[in-house]
Chain A
Amino acid sequence: MAERVEARPRRAEREGSPWTGLWAVVAKEMADHLTSARMRFLELIILLTAVGTVYLALQELRRTEEFLYLALLTRSRDPLPAFVGFMGFLVPLIAIALGFDAINGEFNRRTLSRVLAQPIYRDALLLGKFLAGLFTLALVLTAIWLLVMGLGLLRLGVPPTGVEVARGLLYLLTTIAYGGVWLGLALTFSIVFRQPATAALSSIAVWLFVTVFWGMLVGLIVQGLTDDPVAQTRWGLALVRLSPNTLYSEASLALLHPTIESTLRIMGVITPLQLVQLQWAVPTPLPLSQSLMTIWPHLTGLIAATILLFALSYVLFQRQEIRA
């Protein structure tokens, strides 16, 4: 008995780096993503949307406008919404497609125990899969972004200004962070549910809830909370921002539509009455630093949500029994 007790200085640190084999996993997973039929299909959709929306936006543009390239991304013409609007729901879709079968897929193919029997820790497998998804997403989005810029360059004939490029890049970064949230969610569900189909549908259900129903629900909640219209607006804003979708669309608006009006609306200091008064305000564009300050909490929120979801999936995965 004494021997057994002695043999258990448990919770002792494990030896070896948790990141051994990380890049092997990332490379393999990225190769899988980039060659999979699923991803090609999604890339095609996003490509068509980009070309379609930008083409229509080009026809709406006036050459005299300031921030031509930003307008390219935000201007819409019936029947299509703007490029930004499309991204708002295509990005979650891609991110979910990249992550929903990450772990349960390995389970079902009975490859998980074989891979984990190699000299790597689980950490490397999970983070490798997450990073591979994120890099793939970043790659696809950057390609699309460059494509849009290129189209603009061809059709507009004027190069983008430095500020436009900077705002565009920040928008790209925000979009990737937004995708990271959904990737983290899909990854978590791929650990919770043994069936990839269940994980995919649950992820999509959450996305639908957050995108479509959360806004309505917040309206009801707020009415129940207080009668004061100002307080209602405040509460509504706070609650609606729990949705990554809101954070993303507000951040995009602030970055790509840098007027004082839109910025104030995001900051929540505006009531419908004030909005009417603002119609007469001078539409001076906001400097980049101010826009950045406005969206800083949004960006932080998105990244924090991603990290939280990844941490959750990490804990779940470490506790999971790997026997099939």
Chain B
Amino acid sequence: MTTGAGEEVVIETEGLTKRYGDVTAVDDLRLRIQEGEIYGLLGPNGSGKTTTILMLLGLTEPTAGSARVLGFDPVREPLKVKAKVGYLPDQVGFYDELTARENLAYIAKLNGLPRPEAERRLDEALERMGLADVADRPVGTYSRGMKQRLGLAELLLKRPRVIILDEPTLGLDPEAAREFLQTIRGLKAEGITVLLSSHLLHQVQQICDRVGLFHKGRKVLEGTVPELARRVLGGAYRVRVHAQSERDLRPALEGVAGVRAVIAQDGVYELEAERDVRPDVAEAVVRAGGKLLGLELEEPSLDDIYARYFERLEHQHQDEQAQEGEGVTARGGAR
């Protein structure tokens, strides 16, 4: 199936639903992920991300709806799906008493790779993840970051077309997380489609082409980060101006067309604007006799978007409840 510019849809779901008893873990999910993109499945813990992933891999059966991964149905043809899709679970574990090489060799065997081919791919993958030197050490001695990289090396063994990463940066220190995300971006460059889930929105927002924000099993928002920012934050651009001046520059900045608000603090001005006002701001600062030291557009943060969205939702909810409450009293009165 193709859409728009002839890009292939590699993962698609229609009305995908999973219920555990009374709890609906995933609710009527419609997902389209195109080849070569990095898609972020984002949301707090327990919002249905992992369940979605397990259904895509055929590791758990959907209660309703259907999914297609690379054109295969995960319920009926899980082996075909799993042969081409690499999955890195959250807090991945290995057989600690075996070496990295032995661990990967087992996975290669489960994938039915012939011995020489397996060994070649194994060396390649370990080399690529920077684990070649420690490949013969028991995995029990590895750090969290190394295990995560070993997990990625394992995915590469399959030469996957899609990789699915569940909370890939969980438990990594910021530096290791950043490096790991860079590696993932490198995989995208090879044409591998990446689906990742995370609740650490700020960490993954830089590498996701598109994100879907989950809340209580439902996908509530979807799009690129700037798109969502426009939609939820009302198209606000935040510009940070660092300028030196004898006078207060605030009036000058407020005078720039499109600027809605200015917050000043120690020579740093935070502007909220309707558009990218950087050229005009630079001009205004200079004209007001100030020295411009820095000018940058702040990326809208997914955390802000998420928080703002739910604030709004909460308000709506409260309003609804209030209305309902009134309805009840009215009915009560009628009786």
Interface residues, chain A, CB within 8 Å of chain B?
A: 3-4, 7-8, 10, 12-16, 20-21, 24-25, 27-28, 32, 109-111, 113-121, 321-324
State which of B75, B80, B111 has its C-beta within 8 Å of the C-beta of A118. Answer: B111
Closest chain-B Cβ to A19's Cβ sits at a distance in Å of 11
Asked whether B76 lies within 8 Å of A115 as measured between CB atoms, the reply is no
State which of B51, B60, B93 has its C-beta within 8 Å of the C-beta of A110. Answer: B93
Query: Quick one: which of B50-68 are within 8 Å of A by CB?
Result: 50-51, 54, 57, 59-60, 64-66
Q: Contacts of A28 on B, CB cut-off 8 Å?
A: 106, 109
Closest chain-A Cβ to B84's Cβ sits at a distance in Å of 9
C-beta contact mask, B102-146 vs A, less than 8 Å → 1, else 0?
Answer: 000011011110000000000000000000000000000000000
State which of A8, A14, A16, A117 has its C-beta within 8 Å of the C-beta of B59. Answer: A117
Asked whether B64 lies within 8 Å of A8 as measured between CB atoms, the reply is yes
Report the interface size class on chain B: 35 or more
State which of A3, A15, A25, A323 has its C-beta within 8 Å of the C-beta of B76. Answer: A15
C-beta contact mask, B86-102 vs A, less than 8 Å → 1, else 0?
Answer: 11110111111000000
Q: Chain A's interface: helix, strand, loop or mixed, by majority?
A: loop
Interface assignment of B219: CB less than 8 Å from any CB of chain A? no
Compute how far the CA of A115 lies from the CA of B91 in the bound complex, rounded to whole angstroms. 14
Closest 4 CB pairs of A and B: A110-B93, A16-B79, A24-B109, A7-B66
Asked whether A21 lies within 8 Å of B14 as measured between CB atoms, the reply is no
Q: A4-B14, A113-B89, A321-B60 are in contact. Are A119 and B110 (CB under 8 A)?
A: yes
Q: Contacts of B64 on A, CB cut-off 8 Å?
A: 4, 8
Q: A8-B66, A323-B51 are in contact. Are A16 and B93 (CB under 8 A)?
A: no
Asked whether A24 lies within 8 Å of B93 as measured between CB atoms, the reply is no
Closest chain-A Cβ to B73's Cβ sits at a distance in Å of 9
Compute how far the CA of A118 lies from the CA of B154 in the bound complex, rounded to whole angstroms. 10
Closest chain-A Cβ to B259's Cβ sits at a distance in Å of 49
Asked whether A109 lies within 8 Å of B111 as measured between CB atoms, the reply is no
Q: Contacts of B51 on A, CB cut-off 8 Å?
A: 323
Besides A109-B94, A109-B96, A321-B60, 8 other A-B contacts (C-beta < 8 A): A7-B66, A13-B76, A15-B76, A16-B78, A24-B109, A111-B93, A118-B82, A118-B110
Asked whether B60 lies within 8 Å of A119 as measured between CB atoms, the reply is no
Interface centre among A24, A109, A119 (most CB of B within 10 A): A119
C-beta contact mask, B147-163 vs A, less than 8 Å → 1, else 0?
Answer: 00001001000000000
Closest chain-A Cβ to B6's Cβ sits at a distance in Å of 24
B61 and chain A: residue at smallest CB distance:
A10
Q: A109-B96, A119-B112 are in contact. Are A20 and B59 (CB under 8 A)?
A: no
Asked whether B76 lies within 8 Å of A120 as measured between CB atoms, the reply is no
Interface assignment of B226: CB less than 8 Å from any CB of chain A? no
Q: Contacts of B15 on A, CB cut-off 8 Å?
A: 4
Asked whether B80 lies within 8 Å of A111 as measured between CB atoms, the reply is no
Q: Contacts of A21 on B, CB cut-off 8 Å?
A: 109-110, 112
Q: Contacts of A113 on B, CB cut-off 8 Å?
A: 54, 59, 87, 89
Q: Chain B's interface: helix, strand, loop or mixed, by majority?
A: mixed
Asked whether A114 lies within 8 Å of B76 as measured between CB atoms, the reply is no
Interface assignment of B83: CB less than 8 Å from any CB of chain A? yes
Q: Contacts of A115 on B, CB cut-off 8 Å?
A: 107, 110
8 A-B pairs with CB atoms under 8 Å apart are: A4-B15, A7-B14, A16-B78, A21-B109, A110-B92, A114-B89, A117-B85, A322-B60
Compute how far the CA of A111 lies from the CA of B89 in the bound complex, rounded to whole angstroms. 9
Compute how far the CA of A114 lies from the CA of B158 in the bound complex, rounded to whole angstroms. 13
Asked whether B54 lies within 8 Å of A323 as measured between CB atoms, the reply is yes
Interface residues, chain B, CB within 8 Å of chain A?
A: 14-15, 50-51, 54, 57, 59-60, 64-66, 75-80, 82-83, 85-89, 91-96, 106-107, 109-112, 151, 154
Asked whether B66 lies within 8 Å of A4 as measured between CB atoms, the reply is yes
Asked whether A117 lies within 8 Å of B89 as measured between CB atoms, the reply is yes
Asked whether B77 lies within 8 Å of A110 as measured between CB atoms, the reply is no
Closest chain-A Cβ to B156's Cβ sits at a distance in Å of 14
Closest chain-B Cβ to A45's Cβ sits at a distance in Å of 22
Compute how far the CA of A10 lies from the CA of B76 in the bound complex, rounded to whole angstroms. 9
Closest chain-B Cβ to A318's Cβ sits at a distance in Å of 10
B93 and chain A: residue at smallest CB distance:
A110
Interface centre among A12, A25, A120 (most CB of B within 10 A): A120
Q: Contacts of B109 on A, CB cut-off 8 Å?
A: 21, 24, 27-28
Closest chain-A Cβ to B71's Cβ sits at a distance in Å of 13
Q: A121-B79, A322-B54 are in contact. Are A20 and B95 (CB under 8 A)?
A: no
Q: Contacts of B95 on A, CB cut-off 8 Å?
A: 32, 109, 111
Compute how far the CA of A194 lies from the CA of B106 in the bound complex, rounded to whole angstroms. 24
Closest chain-B Cβ to A4's Cβ sits at a distance in Å of 5
Compute how far the CA of A7 lies from the CA of B64 in the bound complex, rounded to whole angstroms. 9
Closest chain-B Cβ to A112's Cβ sits at a distance in Å of 8
Asked whether B77 lies within 8 Å of A14 as measured between CB atoms, the reply is yes
Closest chain-A Cβ to B254's Cβ sits at a distance in Å of 53
Compute how far the CA of A110 lies from the CA of B151 in the bound complex, rounded to whole angstroms. 12
Interface centre among B51, B93, B112 (most CB of A within 10 A): B93
Q: Contacts of A114 on B, CB cut-off 8 Å?
A: 87-89, 92-94, 107, 151, 154
Compute how far the CA of A225 lies from the CA of B54 in the bound complex, rounded to whole angstroms. 54
Q: Contacts of A16 on B, CB cut-off 8 Å?
A: 77-80
State which of B50, B79, B91, B93 has its C-beta within 8 Å of the C-beta of A120. Answer: B79
Q: A21-B109, A322-B60, A323-B50 are in contact. Are A119 and B79 (CB under 8 A)?
A: yes
